[in-house]
Each structure stands twice: as C-alpha cells, then as structure tokens.
A and B are shown apart, each in its own frame.
Chain A
Amino acid sequence: MKFIIAIIKPFKLDEVREALGGIGVAGMTVSEVKGFGRQKGQTEIYRGAEYSTNMLPKVKIEVAAPDDLAPKIVETIQQVASTEAIGDGKIFVLDLASAVRIRTGEAGDTAL
C-alpha cells in the first residue's frame, strides 16, 4: 500500500477530486495548509503598513491506495493540478505499513 500526499493549488481541488474519482479512488482527506517553496509570497498593505507573507495557502490531499493504483493516482494528480507555473505544488509517496477500517476491523487493501 502507498500513502500519497499532494500539495496543490486550492482552486484545483475540485478538478483533482473528480479526476481521482474517475480512476477509482474511493476516499481522500483534504486540509487547508500554508507553506512556501519556490513561489514568492505576497504583499498585503493595510493603511500603508506593508506586510509580506511568505506562507501561501495550499490544499493538502492525502490518499491511501493499493500498490497497483498508486502510480496512476500520482500521474493523474500531476496532470490535473498542473498549471505549468511555479507554486503548483508537490506530490509525495510513502510506503504504508497498514490500514484498518474502524467500523468493521478489516485490515489491509480491503480497508481502503
């Protein structure tokens, strides 16, 4: 099993969710996060007081998937979330040791 973490631009979330649904992803966890990478921050001005924020808002998607589906998921997210500009985000893939469905106690791939 793989655990896929993708940091994407917030406005791409719906498109990514739809595309992942289309290739058989049954669930995901989404959080609003802030961070920085190569993309520069933005400047805010309130009554002349300038603040440059170096943390930009992003959306983090977490998906647990069987080994065979993982490459397809990574490819789909990469293609759908890309705008070909800096700040599009990153995808991380981790090995997942186990998974348990709380309701039934099922473990492994069947729990996903």
Chain B
Amino acid sequence: MMNRKIFGGIGATLTSLAVSTAAFAQDATPTVDKGDTAWMMTSTVLVFLMILPGLALFYGGLTRSKNMLSTMTQIGAAASLAMLIWVMYGYSMAFGEGGNAFVAGFGKAFLAGVTPDSVSGTIPEYVFACFQMTFAAITVALVLGSTVERIKFSAVMVFAAVWLTIVYFPIAHMVWAPTGYFFGLGALDYAGGTVVHINAGVSALVAAIILGKRKGFPAEPMPPHSLTLTMVGTGLLWVGWFGFNAGSALSANGAASLAMINTFVATASAGLFWMLAERLAGHKGSALGFCSGVVAGLVAVTPAAGNSGPFGAIVLGAVASIICFFAVSKLKPMLGYDDALDAFGVHGIGGIVGAIGTGIVYAPSLGGPGKADFAIGTQLVIQIEAVLATVVLATVGTVIAIFIAKAVTGLRVTPEVEADGLDIGEHGERAYN
C-alpha cells in the first residue's frame, strides 16, 4: 500500500500485480473489475483522441497553410507505426517479463501468451496494452512538433521506428515496470511526465538542431495559419488528457478522481497565467497564449496528477506556464534554434518543471497526498536525478535515431519542396482549395 502511494499511477498497479502474482499460489486468480475496465477502455480512446485529431489540429494550425497536411499526416502515420511496433515488440520491451532495470525481455513479443483472459491488475491485459500503446504513439508524435515544415515524411517514419525502440520503450520500462531503474529510485511520475513529455521535448530539441532551421527562419515571418484549428486541437487535448492522467490510476477510484480535478485546475491556472505573463511582458493576452498555457499546464500536471492536492496543482500550473512562456518567447530567440512548434519549450521545459515541482507539491504540508514523514529535499534529489537521466537518454538516443534516418532517407526535403510546401512536395495535395 505504501508503494501504491509513493509511485502512484501505473507503477502502483504493476506493483500490486507483482504482489498478487507472487501470492498467486495461495489466492484465487486475479479478477477483472468491470468498472475499472470500462473506465480504462474509455481512457484509452481519450488518449487516442489527443493524437487524432487533437495534436494533429493543434500542431497543424500552428504551421503555415502549405504544410498543414504534411504536419497532420506525419502525426497520424508516426502514431500508427508506433501502434504496430508496440504490438510487435514494444509492449514486451517495456512491460514484458525478465530483462533488467533498463529494458524488459522479448518474451511477450507479438503479444505472445496474451489472451482475452489475461489480466493486468484489475483490467484485461489487452486493455492495459492498448492504453500504454496510445502513450507510445502520442510521445513520438509530440517530437515531430520541432521538425515540421522541413523533414521528409520517409525520415519521420524511420526516425519514429528507431527512436521508439532505443528511447521510448526502455524509458517506459524504467519508469513504469516494478523492476525499472527510475521505479527503483522512487521517482514520482504519475502519468508519464518524464517518459512522455521531458523525453519528447528534449528529443524534439535535439532533432531540430541536427535537422537545422527552416529556410528563412527567423527573418521571414512564419505566423500560424489557423489559430482557430489550434484552439480546437487544444480543447481536444485537454479533454483527452483526462484519459491520460485520470486513466493512469488504472482503475476508477479515488486516485483517478484526484488526477481528474488536478487536470482541470492546473490547466485552467496555466492558461490564464500565460496570458498574464504576456500582459506583463507588454503584449496583448492572446488566443495562442491561452492555448500554449493550457498545454504547458497539462504537461506540468502530468507527473503531479495523482501526486498533488488541487491547490498545489494550481500553483504548479501557474509556475510552469510562466517558465514556458519565457522559454519560447525569450530563450528560443536568444539561443536561435528552430523548434518550429515549441515542442521543447512547452513539453520539455513544462515537463521538467512538472517533474521537479511534483517533488514539492506531494508534501502533505502543501495539501499533497504524501505521508507525514515525507521529505521534500530527498524527493527533489530523486526527481532531478530522474530528469537528468531522461535528458541524457533522450539526447543520445535521438542523435542516433536522427542520423540513421539521415543515412536512410536524406532527412530533409529539397529547398524547392520546402519553398512550395510539404503538402504538395511530399504528399501531392493541398489542404485548402
């Protein structure tokens, strides 16, 4: 029970699964809870909604109109590839039996041994595998935010396959499998702030730097072509995120309800605080600012969803939003990298703030669910350790994956295709006729 509280989320249920497996000889077969299963099937499709059409619209609206279809197609195709790889060997690498602290064994490759009767915690294992599948799919899609408008479609596909294999599956195992490295450290990560957001954000930055800037960046104006669609995508992301965060309880219970309320209030706070930061910087409070704040808040509350009280979550959302605002509007121009849609500025930075902040808001003195003897200092060290390890793994893995994609596909479209837009150049279509 103590483990459940500390690790929260996905890890907790796996722990209880491990416990129940150990006790299997004496006890009855693990049984499926219908309420939990119904909620987890719902959560799974909610996370899928975050990708298609949520992220596709959010990112698509931010690109120029000549790259709209390319952006959305890259997201859909990379997510689909992730699903296929997931059932082939991804699930086994992350959640299979055996292996070590960094990766599980290949015993469940091609879902070997998984049947409709297999149970994971209180839900069918197929549901657990699908839920986790959507996480892998959205993470690789998030990375693409930094590379749009210039990366080849073929390069996206090669990168996605390699990156999932050498970066995502191992990190997912380390964080969520009871034998995993971060799990052993005792890092608090409710719904995947490190696995999904820091990982995607840092990988996006590395990929963007190797790929190079878009032609004309930053001198040429590259305004978003439809903030209307971006706003629609933002709404779908927020709605879908309830599956992501509250679903990470892996059951329909009180922990899920805490994750749910935090996903409301941290996000609301972050949306408003981004606009406030804009005002304080002398600009107008903007629609894109609101959308950016909402996503920054969702990212930051991901590790904290079941590990914070509602008021801790509100503060965490506000702080993450303000820091992300400075990252995208000041840090990026200062350093000059072309993270086209700010995947690093929002997901990377927001994820890091969230991961570290979770070590603070977990404290019972701040309304968090931690035990009375919870020590913020000790936990912060663990949180920072997990963040740094993720940054290193994501960086090294992305360098390898991008260079493999470059060797196989050439990585970048020709200057002519870039000028005409990737919709026509890569897909032979236009978004708007």
Contacts and interface: CB of A to CB of B under 8 A. Distances in A.
A binds B: yes
Interface of A: 44-49, 51, 53
B283 A47 contact: no
A41 to B, nearest CB: 12
B330 A49 contact: no
B284 A45 contact: yes
Interface stretch (B115-123, B196-204, B218-226): B218-226
B221 A51 contact: yes
Interface of B: 218, 221-224, 281, 283-284, 286, 288-289, 292, 325, 328-330, 332-333, 342, 345
A44 B333 CA distance: 16
B221 A47 contact: no
B286 A48 contact: no
Given A51-B221, A51-B223, A46 B333 contact: no
A45 B286 contact: yes
Contact of A49 (B218, B281, B292, B325): B218
Contacts of A53: 221
A103 B218 CA distance: 53
24 contacts: A44-B223, A45-B283, A45-B284, A45-B286, A46-B223, A46-B224, A46-B286, A46-B288, A47-B288, A47-B289, A47-B329, A47-B342, A47-B345, A48-B283, A48-B325, A48-B328, A48-B332, A48-B333, A49-B218, A49-B222, A49-B329, A49-B333, A51-B223, A53-B221
A45 B330 CA distance: 13
A37 to B, nearest CB: 21
Most chain B beta-carbon contacts within 10 A, residue among A46, A47, A48, A53: A47
Contacts of B333: 48-49
A48 B330 contact: yes
A46 B289 CA distance: 8
Contacts of A44: 223
Contacts of B288: 46-47
A48 B223 contact: no
Contacts of B222: 49
A112 to B, nearest CB: 34
B58 to A, nearest CB: 13
A40 to B, nearest CB: 17
Contacts of A47: 288-289, 292, 328-329, 342, 345
A38 B48 CA distance: 51
Contacts of A48: 281, 283, 325, 328-330, 332-333
A46 B342 CA distance: 11
Contacts of A45: 283-284, 286
B78 to A, nearest CB: 24
A49 B325 CA distance: 12
Contacts of B345: 47
Contacts of B329: 47-49
Nearest to B291: A47
B220 to A, nearest CB: 9
Contacts of A49: 218, 222, 329, 333
Nearest to A50: B283
Contacts of B330: 48
Contacts of B332: 48
A16 B222 CA distance: 35
Nearest to B281: A48
Cβ-closest 6 pairs across A and B: A48-B329, A51-B221, A47-B328, A45-B283, A46-B223, A47-B329
